[in-house]
Amino acid sequence: MKKKENEKLNLFLLLKTITPKIIRISPVYFWIAVAISIIHGLFWGFDILVRQYFFDATASFVGKTAEFRSVLLAFAALAFTAVMTQLLNGISNYMWYVLNMRKMQMFRFEINARIRRLSPEVFENTETLDDINKAGMGAGAAVELFAVIEIILCFYLPYFLFVGWYLFSLKPLFLLTIVIIFIPTALTQLIRAKVFSKLEDESAPKRREYEYYEKAVADREYLKETRLLGGFAYFKEKFSESYRLCLKLRMRAEFRSSLFELSMNVITILGYFGILYMLFTALMAGEITVGAFAAVFANMGMLYSIMAEVVQMHIGRLAQNFGATINYVRFLELPERSGEIKKAPAWGDITFQDVTYSYPNTERPALSHVSFTLRRGETLAIVGENGSGKSTLVRLLSGLYLPTEGRVLHNGVDTREIDPEALYQGTTAVFQKYQRYQMTLRENLAISDTAKQADSAQLEEICKMAGCDSADASFTNGYDTMLSREFDGVDLSGGQWQRVAIARGFYRNHNLIILDEPTAAIDPYEETRVYNRFAELSREKSAVIVTHRIGSVRLADRILVMQDGHAVQLGTHEELVQKEGEYRRLWEAQEQWYKENPEQETDAVSVN
Ligand SMILES: Nc1ncnc2c1ncn2[C@@H]1O[C@H](COP(=O)(O)OP(=O)(O)OP(=O)(O)O)[C@@H](O)[C@H]1O
Ligand SMILES: [Mg+2]
């Protein structure tokens, strides 16, 4: 896999990108939570000071140099600190919890809104697709990551600053205490971060593999074919292979970081005894009071466990979430499509000017130097062998994809300059890989134009044209039939689904309609019928039909012939049949078919 740019993406950059978003959710609430956390942290630090007072007061009282009142006062301060730490703990936990929930909600909404604005081409690139698929998980990780950063900055830092100040004021050398505890634990986590971010990079493609193989074995869509064709064992084996590899990588990472952690812990323990020795000699030399000795000694355990908590639990979580958060940040950086021109140009010709298109990360262009004009109101058929570039061409024609080189002009305006929302407004399409929405029949149709009120008469007309009859026995509840077995509805046959998809395409208000072979599962006669009705409807509109069947080709005004990414011929059926070339070759292939099936009508014959 190509090295991604996560090296450049450091924690600082991450903070810079995401912090303003978090504060913006609710600035007042955020700053109150910050203030409460800081006070909370200071109270924890305060504990050590109050303990010293308490021990000193008690020692003085025992030595008869102080009154019982001062012991009581110190005790009250100790109790107050204990109560306050618990109270502030509860309040700040609750406040951060609520804020985290709101962060998650905001990130989720933002992901959805952003996916809509992304350039469709980013979905063709496996690397960026990874970032898109993991954006949701990455957002969860970002919330965790920031929760950790917030708690470190707003709670632990004030605590350590206070304790640091206290130790320093006792004896500057005591500051070493914090350093001795901190360095080995921090080093451990630094290594951990490195190991896990490397693991994430190495295992992501393998994980994608095994998730796919698992789907091929267990997913309903795949199940029948995989079982019947005997692919089950094959996919299972593939799955285990990738899964095992992933596991091996993970175990290796865990082993390495654990080994390092263990050796660092030994050093920490040695440091702990060093500190004790330091304290003892200071007490003997009369540099600190008995109270200070006792307070530091009593708080050593706490200092150590808080440090371990920060570094192992929080910084460990930080490191693990960092990898996934990168997916989210990279997702935020994916190119969005927008155009200077916010209003669609008046409906007119669509011109391809020397257009070349290559899919991301591919060497060979799918389209090479294609030039032609789809005239306003014209019906154009596109024919050509599999892989000749037909589907790619219609994606560029609709403006869904932008050319790598050359220009596609909608009434003279470059598709690059038009805002996608405006660009798609007058276009409808039924794609080769159409969707089966798990919703009612009505919703399946109306989804293509949600601005329209779906009145039954109109639905009826559209359905008739696409040859899908809501009165059909399959639609047990008319337009309100749920088309999904998973949601207690019915399932349709492949051909029925195609008709629904075609009806959906027709339903949308449009000037241009694109049909990219949506009729493969419909018999040739029915296809011709659908297309004839469609031609009537589309008389004023521009239409592009990608098809292999000559019956549909013939109803087009002109035919564009694709071969190996090039537009090799353009003309009417009569013109093209006369000439030597790809179209004649395709035509003759079907003529042969016609001779062998004399009882069939020419209209229903396939071109290829
Ligand atoms: N998402 C993609 N990423 C990379 N290459 C692609 C992608 N989609 C298509 N291609 C390549 O682009 C070329 C043209 O594909 P396209 O789907 O446009 O052909 P087509 O004429 O529509 O074929 P068919 O008749 O099978 O639908 C093919 O060589 C194909 O391998
Ligand atoms: Mg295609």
pLDDT in tens, 575-590: 999 999 999 888 888 7
Are 182 and 122 contained in the same domain? no
- What's the pLDDT tens digit per position in 232-243? 888 889 999 999
User: What domain count does the chain have?
Assistant: 3
Separation in Å, CA 47 to CA 85, 156, 157 = 9, 14, 15
Cβ–ligand 1 contact at 365 (below 6 Å): no
What is the number of the ligand 1 atom nearest to the C-alpha of 388? 21
Evaluate whether residue 178 is within a structural domain: yes
Are 65 and 201 contained in the same domain? no
Cβ–ligand 1 contact at 358 (below 6 Å): no
Cβ–ligand 1 contact at 65 (below 6 Å): no
- Give Dmax (Cα) for the chain: 123
What residue numbers bound the domain in which 467 lies?
435-509
Name the residue with higher pLDDT: 16 or 346: 346
390 C-alpha to ligand 2 centroid (Å): 5
Q: Is 380:374 a contact under the CB 8 Å cutoff?
A: yes
| pLDDT of the residue at 413 | 95
Cβ–ligand 1 contact at 388 (below 6 Å): yes
Cβ–ligand 1 contact at 432 (below 6 Å): yes
Q: Which residue's C-alpha comes closest to atom 5 of ligand 1?
A: 359
Mean of pLDDT values over 161-172: 92
Neighbours of 579 (CB within 10 A): 11
Q: How far apart are CA 141 and CA 132, in angstroms?
A: 14
Are 101 and 163 contained in the same domain? yes
Tell me the pLDDT band of 551, cut-offs 50, 70 and 90.
Answer: low
Evaluate whether residue 216 is within a structural domain: yes
| pLDDT of the residue at 593 | 60
Are 137 and 180 contained in the same domain? no
pTM above 0.95, yes or no: no
Are 195 and 118 contained in the same domain? no
Q: How many residues does the chain have?
A: 608
| pLDDT of the residue at 60 | 92
Evaluate whether residue 51 is within a structural domain: yes
CATH number of the domain at 461, please.
3.40.50.300
H/E stretch holding 435 reads: none
333 C-alpha to ligand 2 centroid (Å): 30
Evaluate whether residue 195 is within a structural domain: yes
Are 32 and 164 contained in the same domain? yes
Q: Which residue's C-alpha comes closest to atom 17 of ligand 1?
A: 391
- Asked whether residue 4 carries a pLDDT value surpassing 50, the answer given is no
Mean of pLDDT values over 93-120: 90
Are 106 and 157 contained in the same domain? yes
Name the residue with higher pLDDT: 56 or 472: 56
Cβ–ligand 1 contact at 362 (below 6 Å): yes
496 C-alpha to ligand 1 centroid (Å): 25
Are 47 and 134 contained in the same domain? yes
| pLDDT of the residue at 291 | 92
What is the number of the ligand 1 atom nearest to the C-alpha of 361? 4
DSSP code per residue over 519-587:
TTTS-HHHHHHHHHHHHHHTTTSEEEEE-SBHHHHHTSSEEEEEETTEEEEEE-HHHHHHSSSHHHHHH
- What's the pLDDT tens digit per position in 456-505? 788 888 888 888 877 778 888 888 899 988 888 888 888 889 889 989 98
393 C-alpha to ligand 2 centroid (Å): 9
Are 224 and 119 contained in the same domain? no
| pLDDT of the residue at 2 | 40
Which of 123, 128, 357, 359, when mutated, tests ligand 1's pocket best, judged by the most ligand atoms within 8 Å of its CB?
A: 359
Are 276 and 144 contained in the same domain? no
Are 193 and 250 contained in the same domain? yes
- Asked whether residue 603 carries a pLDDT value surpassing 70, the answer given is no
Which of 509, 539, 560 marks a domain boundary?
A: 509
- Asked whether residue 395 carries a pLDDT value surpassing 60, the answer given is yes
Alpha-carbon dihedral 459, 461, 463, 466, rounded to 10 degrees: -140
Query: Which range in 42-46, 118-122, 294-298, 335-339 is most confidently predicted, on average pLDDT?
Result: 42-46
Which of 450, 480, 509 marks a domain boundary?
A: 509
| pLDDT of the residue at 597 | 56
- Asked whether residue 537 carries a pLDDT value surpassing 90, the answer given is no
461's tokens: 């007309």
Tell me the pLDDT band of 602, cut-offs 50, 70 and 90.
Answer: very low
Which of 391, 433, 546, when mutated, tests ligand 1's pocket best, judged by the most ligand atoms within 8 Å of its CB?
A: 391
Tell me the pLDDT band of 596, cut-offs 50, 70 and 90.
Answer: low
Evaluate whether residue 597 is within a structural domain: no
Which of 368, 392, 566, when mutated, tests ligand 1's pocket best, judged by the most ligand atoms within 8 Å of its CB?
A: 392
| pLDDT of the residue at 392 | 96
Evaluate whether residue 77 is within a structural domain: yes
Cβ–ligand 1 contact at 368 (below 6 Å): no
Q: Which residue's C-alpha comes closest to atom 27 of ligand 1?
A: 386
Which of 474, 509, 544 marks a domain boundary?
A: 509
Mean of pLDDT values over 507-535: 81
Strand order in the sheet with 405-410: 367-374, 350-357, 405-410, 413-414
Q: Which ligand is nearest to the CA of 389?
A: 1
Evaluate whether residue 66 is within a structural domain: yes
Evaluate whether residue 215 is within a structural domain: yes
Are 195 and 280 contained in the same domain? yes
Q: How far apart are CA 391 and CA 375, in angstroms?
A: 19
| pLDDT of the residue at 3 | 41
| pLDDT of the residue at 397 | 96
Cβ–ligand 1 contact at 518 (below 6 Å): no
